[in-house]
Structure 1
């Protein structure tokens, strides 16, 4: 049995969301959906196997949510982000209490994404 978890993160401004998720994090826009013109946007962004749903819909997620993401390239991702000109987020690479390194990127809607080196199970 295989599973994939896709967090739904609440957003309030489409351009700010795209600036953060697409331009800063380097994710791709997979698709966008609205029930009708002028209705809230629901979209999917991804980078490799990491997938997020971003939603303007009331009740879809809570602002200030926290998502934990394991990656085998935490140092590489941190270096990529460190080189970007994005003035609203300046994460620091830290030693994780559980071992390895991690950093937290906070989106414009106070959602926190913790990127951590793969945990040894």
Structure 2
């Protein structure tokens, strides 16, 4: 197993969040609930990128900022009708998921 860091993002409705993250190329890997009526905890992945989406109130706060370094920010930007902007380190866009979490997404320059 490779060591990694996996951010946890707070979401109100995991199924709604998963559908939104699918637009970024993520797919659901698994979902856990302690009981059917209890909050969901979901892992999503896009290649080697992984995020946990949690309906549990104590896991994370909305408005978190996560940076995703990807191979082709242009394709993601097109999906959302955006044009990436140049920063000194990357071409980037910034999105907000349905729960207010911020995603800065960039492709390194050069």
* Fold match (TM-score > 0.5): yes
CA RMSD of aligned residues (A): 1.9
Count, aligned residues: 109
Equivalent of 2:89, from 81, 96, 99?
99
> Displacement of 1:15 after TM fit?
3.3
| Structure with greater strand percent | 2
**Alignment partner, residue 58 of structure 1:** 57
Give 5+ residue unaligned stretches, structure 2: none
TM-score in terms of structure 1 length: 0.79
TM-score in terms of structure 2 length: 0.86
In structure 2, do the counterparts of structure 1 residues 55 and 69 end up closer, same or farther at CA, with 3 Å as the change threshold? same
**Alignment partner, residue 32 of structure 1:** 31
**Alignment partner, residue 87 of structure 1:** none
Asked if the contact 1:91–1:105 (Cα under 8 Å) also holds between the matched residues in 2, the reply is no
- Cα distance per residue 1:28-84 (max 9 Å; x no partner): 1100000112010000001111110000001111101000111232223323x24xx
**Alignment partner, residue 76 of structure 1:** 75
Asked if the contact 1:44–1:54 (Cα under 8 Å) also holds between the matched residues in 2, the reply is yes
> Displacement of 1:119 after TM fit?
6.4
Give 5+ residue unaligned stretches, structure 1: 83-89
Q: Which runs of 4+ in 1 moved over 3 A?
A: none
> Displacement of 1:91 after TM fit?
4.1
